Amino acid sequence: MATLYHHPFCAQSRFMRLVLGELGLDADLIEERVWERRLDFLRMNPAGATPVYEEEQVGLVIGAMPAAEYLDETRGLALGERRLLPPDPKGRVEVRRLMDWFNGKMHQEVTGYLAHEKIFKRFMPAEQGGGAPDMAAIRAARANIRYHLAYIGYLHAERNWLAGDALSYADLAAAAQLSVADYLGDVPWADNEAAKHWYQKVKSRPSFRPLLMDRVAGMDPVRHYVDLDF
């Protein structure tokens, strides 16, 4: 049995949960509050960040993208047309580019701010930076998300899925980031129907259902969060 050290509202952790769901793999989920700096977790990943994937065959795989690459290398061929990292070099380059865009750029400009300010700081002691959210950071994230939503809409208008004709890691990375912002009500869906239509497709997949069950203690999601046709 594999283990995923994660946080329910860490977007990269959500990406890994979607990957595992699409691959039909089970993993024990261990919630990690990284701000607590748990010593055993720091021994696994000195960077102190989630996700960390552990499997008997390879041991620890640190980070969402290395773990996704590992799972493609070990399971990808068996998936055939359902492979999440395409077999052709050009297709793989595009999926990797978009994975980096969403798990890197979008997280740094949008989701990381929203999750930290509106969720994580609620549970952090003051000496670790907890307390009231920084509204300037939240306003910046809300402004930045419009750019990323427009880019998703542009990609989907040109392609069946974000990186091409088939569902890929790119779609799961983008959906994982948006799902955190959507829980908080910070996605301006009215701005881009193409992006909304794409998200509805991903959100309707069985792999997405566990994410829709996640809750922040004392903070319910927006009403449409669980609706597949919103």
**Is-contact 52 46, C-beta < 8 A?**
no
Delimit the domains of the chain by residue range: 2-82, 89-226
Tell me the pTM.
0.96
Q: In this predicted structure, what is the pLDDT of residue 116? A: 97
Residue 129: its pLDDT value, please? Answer: 85
Mean pLDDT of successive 10-residue stretches along the chain, which has 230 residues: 96 98 97 96 97 95 97 92 94 98 98 97 90 96 98 95 97 98 98 97 97 96 93
Domain 2-82 matches domain 89-226 at the CATH topology level: no
Q: Which pLDDT belongs to residue 3?
A: 98
Q: Which fold has domain 89-226?
A: Glutathione S-transferase Yfyf (Class Pi); Chain A, domain 2 (1.20.1050)
Cα 225 to Cα 18: distance, rounded to the nearest angstrom: 17
CA distances from 18 to 11, 43, 60, 211 (A): 10, 26, 19, 8
* Cβ–Cβ under 8 Å, residues 169 and 84: yes
* Region 2-82: CATH code: 3.40.30.10
Whole-number pLDDT of residue 144: 98
pLDDT at residue 229 in the model: 87
What is residue 1's predicted lDDT score, i.e. its pLDDT?
A: 84
